[in-house]
Amino acid sequence: MNIEEQVELLMQGTEYGDEELKKAMTNEMRQRLLDAQRENRPLRVYCGYDPTSTDLHLGHTITMRKLRQFQDLGHEVTFLIGSYTALVGDPSDKNKARPILTEEQVAHNAQTYAEQAYRVLDREKTRIRYNGEWLSELSLLDLIRLGQNFTVQQFLARENFANRLEKGEAIYLHETFYALMQGYDAVAQQTDVQVGGTDQLFNIIVAGRKLQEALGQKPLVGIITGILPGTDGVQRMSKSTGNIVPINTGAEDMYGKLMSIPDFAMGKYMRLATRWSPHEIETIESDIQSGKLHPRDAKMNVSFEITSIFYGETDAQKAQDIFVKMFQQKEIPDEMPELELKSGQTVLDVILEAKMAASKSEARRLFDQRGVRLDGETIERGDIAFPHPGVLQVGKRKFLRVKK
């Protein structure tokens, strides 16, 4: 790729909420690439991840996809685990203070992060670091001196803080430390480019750049990615809303969940979660608009592409074949788990034993939604004796062969 093609790729899917700021970051990105080319050195690029939970979903991997683009262009990428920032808690995307994690919880969660990141990043080209390396060395005096570069008004102007202030809700002093700590991450690594979601705009564009400049470094370029909507196509992908696409549940589950996403959200998914170039995406959208490509086929292509990133093309193809059989040809899968029916078991007993629902309440919701079938016939109650051996279907994608 020439420099302009690289800029176009790296800025794809970015959002700044301000066109002038986006133009400024685009120009700075172009200049950094030119400088790196002239100096014959890679850019130092990083993104930080606070290990606040153990499992990642597709929404978490959007910034990793951007890091992978930098890797493929030959730049130096650091996957920074926020072993210290996680102890404070990032208030950026929250309307209330985050709960404080213990060091033991952070250490436990961090163990799983790097391995999951390698589903997207090149293992051989990824540096793993922990920001406790330098943040643990800061003294109280150091923190005060970092704080001298900011005003209280700058923090109170942030949307989430402003909303809480208007509602009379508490804003704790330690929450303002987070931006200072993340800004110092950029300084400690002499960062050229920092990647983050739109919820990190203040931490990257204000805190990181300002601290670097104050401490004699060239301010970084902020690559601010859009936020991936969940399977509803509207709300941010979040475990709390249940609209997630997990990355560790198998190719079939990932493909099926991606196919359930509304057509209108496909543009976001193409730009944020695929390996496709801006030109390839424009061609697909043009073909849909002209009628040359059916939206369903486009969605299948998107689902295959994303699934293959995490599970490889062979498993992605199997998942697609199963989906076509189950949903387009209305067939049940050839292979499925089996369970031997015990005397006196109810339909609910079988569902829970086979782990086709996580709880009794979830199972009851499925019955209410007419989502439980035996050999194609809807079962409306879970407290009845299991009628007879056959193929039990729970929801859209779970099948069980029940035997005597």
What pLDDT shows up at residue 374? 85
The two domains 251-328 and 338-403 share their CATH topology (first three levels equal): no
pLDDT at residue 160 above 60?
yes
Distance CA 228, CA 231 (A): 10
pLDDT at residue 89 above 70?
no
Q: What confidence tens digit (pLDDT) does each residue in 252-297 have?
A: 889 988 988 888 999 999 999 999 999 999 999 999 999 898 888 9
- Provide the percentage of residues in the chain whose pLDDT is more than 90: 52
At CA 278, angle to CA 314 and CA 255, rounded to 5? 30
3-225: CATH architecture:
3-Layer(aba) Sandwich (3.40)
What pLDDT shows up at residue 140? 92
305 or 103: whose pLDDT is higher?
A: 305
Return the CATH class of domain 338-403.
Answer: alpha beta
pLDDT at residue 334 above 70?
no
What pLDDT shows up at residue 294? 87
Q: What confidence tens digit (pLDDT) does each residue in 384-398 have?
A: 999 888 889 998 888
Pull the structure tokens for residue 211.
């601290």
**Distant-in-sequence, close-in-space partners of 133: CB < 8 Å, separation ≥ 6:** 188
Q: What is the dihedral sign for C-alpha 60, 119, 45, 141?
A: positive
Q: What confidence tens digit (pLDDT) does each residue in 238-257 have?
A: 877 778 898 888 898 899 88
Parse the chain into domains and list their residue ranges: 3-225, 251-328, 338-403
What pLDDT shows up at residue 93? 46
What pLDDT shows up at residue 100? 62
Residues 40-48 have a mean pLDDT of 96
What pLDDT shows up at residue 44? 98
What pLDDT shows up at residue 115? 77
Residue type, position 158, single letter: R
Distance CA 215, CA 394 (A): 59
Cross-strand pairs, 129 = 80
Candidates 1.10.240.10, 1.20.120.160, 2.30.31.20, 2.130.10.10; CATH matching 251-328: 1.10.240.10
**DSSP H/E element including 62:** helix 62-72
Please name which of 358, 337, 373, 109 lies closest in space to residue 242, comparing C-alpha atoms.
358
